[in-house]
Amino acid sequence: MDSIIQAAKLIIDSKRTFAFTGAGISVESGIPSYRGENGIWNNIDEKLFDLLYYLNNSQTVWPILLDIFFNPSNRYLPNTAHHILADWEERDLLEGIVTQNIDFLHQLAGNKIVHEFHGTTNSFICTSCKRIYNTSELTLSKVPPLCNNKKCSALLKPNFIFFGEGIPSNAYQKSQESTLNTDVFIVIGTSGEVSPANQIPIMAKQNGSMIIEINTKTSLYTDEITDVFLKGKASDTLQLINKKIKTLLTK
């Protein structure tokens, strides 16, 4: 059976479907992935994103952070792939998303249940008093940003995890829970290279989920856990599945 039809039928018949997304789903929004051609890590030393290094060298790190993640001229927007996942949540075809991405694009597209496994660029945290700031509250004209609690004034850091930091416990727990009683896990745009995030689809498989994978090339999952592999861009492929779902549901 044609893989698109197979994927569409699995999603229609599924009582509980989750998506697991990586950088690949945001490439068509203009955000580079981390690995492969034009990968962020090809040009940036990962050391800059080590927590201790940041705490001691924030002046050095901030120009990179501004350029990659907080550049005011780069207002990234959700692409078609994000919008289709939001539409599926709206239509009860998708329960929620576990994302490795920190770009907040799933929420901007309208998804309500989004577990951000690696945190988010949408907020900052004070490295001392732990106060949370919404990124839109900060001007970032003066960096490194400091806590505006006068008794504190400590360094702020983006609320995504740096190397050497633990996974946000609530996101971790909710992501693990998402793998229970799920019939279908749609794995989109991830190399599957980074632990412990990469264990989530494996847990879903072990708990009985069918794995639909969408990627422009094979990943570490493809030959191991993937049941339906759809080679292609996230937006094109999700559009094809969405069209097929609509056809099958109107029959």
DSSP string over 44-87: S-GGGGBHHHHHH-HHHHHHHHHHHT--TT------HHHHHHHH
- Angle CA 72–24–98, to nearest 5: 95
DSSP string over 177-221: HHTTT-SEEEEES----STTTTHHHHHHHHTT-EEEEEESS--TT
Answer for which of 14, 121, 179, 190 binds ligand APR (CB under 6 A) is 190
Stretch that binds ligand APR, among 31-39, 60-68, 82-90, 132-140 (CB under 6 A): 31-39
Q: Encoding tokens for residue 29?
A: 């929004």
Instruction: Tokens 């994000």: give the residue.
Output: 82
Instruction: Tokens 């879903």: give the residue.
Output: 204
Give yes or no for residue 36 binding ligand APR (CB under 6 A): yes
Answer for which of 35, 66, 167, 203 binds ligand APR (CB under 6 A) is 35
Give yes or no for residue 174 binding ligand APR (CB under 6 A): no
The CB-of-170 to ligand APR minimum distance in angstroms stands at 17
Reduce the DSSP state of residue 126 to 3 states and report it: strand
Give yes or no for residue 84 binding ligand APR (CB under 6 A): no
Residues that contact ligand APR, how many (by CB under 6 A):
24
The CB-of-249 to ligand APR minimum distance in angstroms stands at 25
Answer for which of 10, 11, 19, 27 binds ligand APR (CB under 6 A) is 27
Q: Is the peptide bond before 196 cis (omega within 30 degrees of 0)?
A: yes
The CB-of-212 to ligand APR minimum distance in angstroms stands at 13
Pairwise CA distance, residues 213 & 219, whole Å: 9
Pairwise CA distance, residues 155 & 202, whole Å: 37
3-state helix, strand, coil in the chain (%, to 5): 40, 20, 45
User: Toward ligand APR, which CB reaches closer, 147 or 238?
Assistant: 238
Give yes or no for residue 39 binding ligand APR (CB under 6 A): yes
Q: Encoding tokens for residue 146?
A: 């400091």
Give yes or no for residue 238 binding ligand APR (CB under 6 A): no
| 118 carries an active-site annotation | yes
Active-site residue among 83, 106, 115, 118? 118
DSSP 163: B
Q: In the window 198-227, what residues touch ligand APR (CB under 6 A)? A: 214-217, 219
The CB-of-106 to ligand APR minimum distance in angstroms stands at 13
Pairwise CA distance, residues 216 & 29, whole Å: 15
Give yes or no for residue 194 binding ligand APR (CB under 6 A): yes
The CB-of-198 to ligand APR minimum distance in angstroms stands at 8
Q: Residues interacting with ligand APR, by CB under 6 A?
A: 22-24, 27-28, 33-36, 39, 100, 118, 189-191, 193-194, 214-217, 219, 233-234
Residues known to be catalytic: 118
